[in-house]
Structure 1
Amino acid sequence: MNRSPFCRGFLLILLVLACFALSPTARATCQEGCLSSNNTTLGEDALLDLTTGTDNTALGFNALLSDTTGTHNTAVGSSALYANQGSNNCAIGAAALGANTTNSGSNNTAVGMDALFLNSGSNNTAIGASAGDSIQAGNDNIFIGFTAGEMVQGGSHNIEIAHHGTPGDIATIRIGTKKNQKNTYIAGITGVTVAGGVGVIVDASGHLGTVTSSARFKDNVRPLVARDEQGKPYTVRYEAVNAMLLNEFLKEHRKAEEQQATITQLKRDFRGTVTQLTTRLDEQAAQIQKMSAQLEATKPAPQMVNNP
């Protein structure tokens, strides 16, 4: 979800108003210096609501403002980790991890304005302005690049590099886009031998895979040719050959049966056609004979002529 700066600002205003409503002594305080429990602040209302949290660093207006019990957090930038209640988070950039509100939202790293803005999950990493800014409850995601993964909403274990992602992404890797990237070069692949390797298939959308059919649902499928550590073939799994030959024989046998059934049907159809033609010829012959008899009956009788 690509939000406009106006929408993000409106959400921040709502968060500020909510904190003011809950705070009995809402005030603007320019915090500067070292607080108790190894906390460090620099900026107006930075770490304003802190109670028992320890080892936090807040630099910037409203940085870590709502944090009360979170520990080991670092916020650098206006409203970075603004609503945070988690621990072990690092946010660098305006509003980075700004709405990280739950205690479970921990071990996140966000670098860039609005990076991981709505995050409440854990173990997420986003580098780039608005990277992963719509992810909410997802965990263990990596977003790299401007607006990278901005469409991902709740999935986990995604890696989005220079790609917006999709709302339903789960355990998905996306690198680049067809619109912007036209060529791919990865060193260390060409000429390298891999023992027991399989072919890689790429579909029209750029989806990578190694199988094209239901083979992906089969377990323990091994190649027929066994290879050594250098990738060179050294033997064949002969126990699998008989099964393969039997399978091919059954295929040909079924094909022969289908062909025989087709020939039998053709013969049956041919006999039926011949019978129909014979019947029609007999009917036509009978009609001709009838018409000949009628013509014969209509001829005048011959007359005798007497000579005087």
Structure 2
Amino acid sequence: MKTTIRLFCIVLIFVSIHVSPQARAACQEGCLTNYNTVLGEDVLLNDQGSSWNTANGFNALYSNNIGSVNTAIGFDALYSNTVGGYNTAIGSQALFSNTDAHNNTAIGVSALYSNNSGWNNTATGFGALSSNTIGTGNTANGVGALPSNTIGNFNTASGFNTLVFNTTGSYNAAYGYYALLNNTTGNENTANGAKALLRNTNGIQNTASGLSALGSNTTGNQNTADGTNSSFRNTTGVANVAVGYYALFHNTTGGSNTALGAGSGSNLTTGSNNIDIDNLGVAGEGNTIRIGTTGTQTNTYIAGISGVTVAGGVGVIIDSSGHLGTVVSSARFKDAIKPMDKVSEAILALKPVSFRYKHELDPNGIPQFGLVAEEVEKVNPDLVARDEQGKPYTVRYEAVNAMLLNEFLKAHRKIQELEANNAQQQRRLQKQVEALTVGLQK
């Protein structure tokens, strides 16, 4: 995978004040009135009664007049501050543009450089939050963390070039190299891991944890990806949940999919409303539940079924691939409907048996009654269900029952015919008896 990385550059603006050596103030060192501590040339030069400030470095707190409880260490640190208080700037031009904002902490060259009235921000690292102006409550930890943020609020960025292009997005959290790198206006996203949510621009309410998790997402919303490369190719899909390495890797625009387990749902591409648990899924399919992997899981136990009666329900069947379903009987699902006629006579050749399942299937050896699939196949192959290798697996007892009903009805009709013939003969005999009786009486 080739990724074009836009390198982050920070342009430092160094302000030089050219005055003659004769006009330049002498280097100050010591404690001033109102508990201010200074060290360096032109520090606290414009002070007008501030208190409890510490200024160390050329032009540190240069413009301050009444701002108090500030700490500025480094060339031009808190240079423009006038009334802002409780700020800490350590590093050349840290918090350079701050004027009246309070409670900011900037550690690193040009950290929070452009901030003027944003409050409660913390920036640690070269250029961290360097473009922030009025954004509030942001935390940036790492070189180039949140450098483009201007008015976005309550963002947290930790790691090299995290949330690099964020401008107005708020309530985002990015931890790791290039996490949420391209986010600009997206809100309420959480990226934990290198390159997590790398390409997200204005998608909202996404959570990505792991290397490159949701790495291709741009505008998709409400997605959750936990695991390396999980949901990596998702671009605009919404409300997907991928848990596990490579889970939902190839999904691009499908929505409301849930994949649990390493590689689960990784074959899905554009389908929606799928649930894949420890199953790769099928590309393009939708509205499907797949649990387990054929050939891996060989037994299934589900609580809450045995002993529970469902009135009016239908039986569930399974095919050789593990596909669950029900047998439908409505005419709208059928073609070529015709009487069964003599087809059902095949069951007359079947040989019911009693038996016990082998010990590995039934350790208790409970007596069973039924048919042998191989014997049934010889009579009518259509009465046998087969396994994935095509071998006889079981008997289609529901079909046997229908054929048995047909034979019963045929026999019943014969009985009715015999009874009708018998009644007719009885009537004929009765008439003969009556005629004979009349003749004898004469």
TM-score bracket for this pair, using the shorter chain length? 0.5 to 0.7
- CA 1:29–1:151 in structure 2 vs 1: closer, same or farther (change >3 Å)? farther
Measured in 1, the distance between the counterparts of 2:244 and 2:183 equals 24
Separation of aligned partners in 2, 1:146 and 1:185? 22
Unaligned runs of 5+ in 2: 12-124, 130-138, 141-145, 147-151, 335-405, 411-442
Larger RCO (CA under 8 A, 6+ residues apart): 1
CA–CA separation in structure 2 for the residues paired with 1:212 and 1:135: 33
- Whether 2:208 is the aligned partner of 1:94: answer no
Alignment partner, residue 179 of structure 1: 295
Query: Aligned runs of 1:184-203 on 2, under 5 Å?
Result: 184-203=300-319
Deviations 1:190-222, CA, capped at 9 Å, x for gaps: 11101111100101111111125666759xxxx
Q: Deviations over 1:283-308 (max 9, x none)?
A: xxxxxxxxxxxxxxxxxxxxxxxxxx
CA shift, 1:25, in A, is 6.3
Secondary structure, counterpart of 1:66 in structure 2: coil
- Residue number in structure 2 paired with 1:107: 222
SS of the residue corresponding to residue 44 of structure 1 reads: coil
Of 118, 121, 126, which residue of structure 1 is paired with 2:233?
118
Instruction: State the alpha-carbon separation in 2 of the partners of residues 172 and 216 from structure 1.
Output: 23
Q: Residue type matched to 1:168 in 2?
A: G
Counterpart of 1:76 in structure 2 is: 192
- Match in the other structure for 2:161: 45
Corresponding residue for residue 158 of structure 1: 274
8 Å CA contact retained: 2:198, 2:215: yes
Kept after mapping to 2: 8 A contact 1:31/1:44: no
Q: Which residue of 2 aligns with 1:4?
A: none
Aligned pair 1:63/2:179, yes or no?
Answer: yes
TM-score by length of 1: 0.61
CA gap 1:30/1:134 in 2 versus in 1, 3 angstroms: farther
Q: Which stretches of structure 1, 4 residues or longer, exceed 2 Å deviation after superposition? A: 23-26, 28-36, 212-218
Structure with greater helix share of residues: 1
After TM superposition, give the deviation of residue 122 of structure 1 in Å: 0.3
**Structure 1, unpaired ranges of 5+:** 1-9, 219-247, 253-308
| Percent of aligned pairs sharing the same letter | 47
Shift of 1:179: 1.5
Report the aligned-residue RMSD: 2.8
TM-score (norm 2): 0.43
Equivalent AA in structure 2 for residue 55 of structure 1: Y
Opposite residue 78 of structure 1, the aligned amino acid is: A
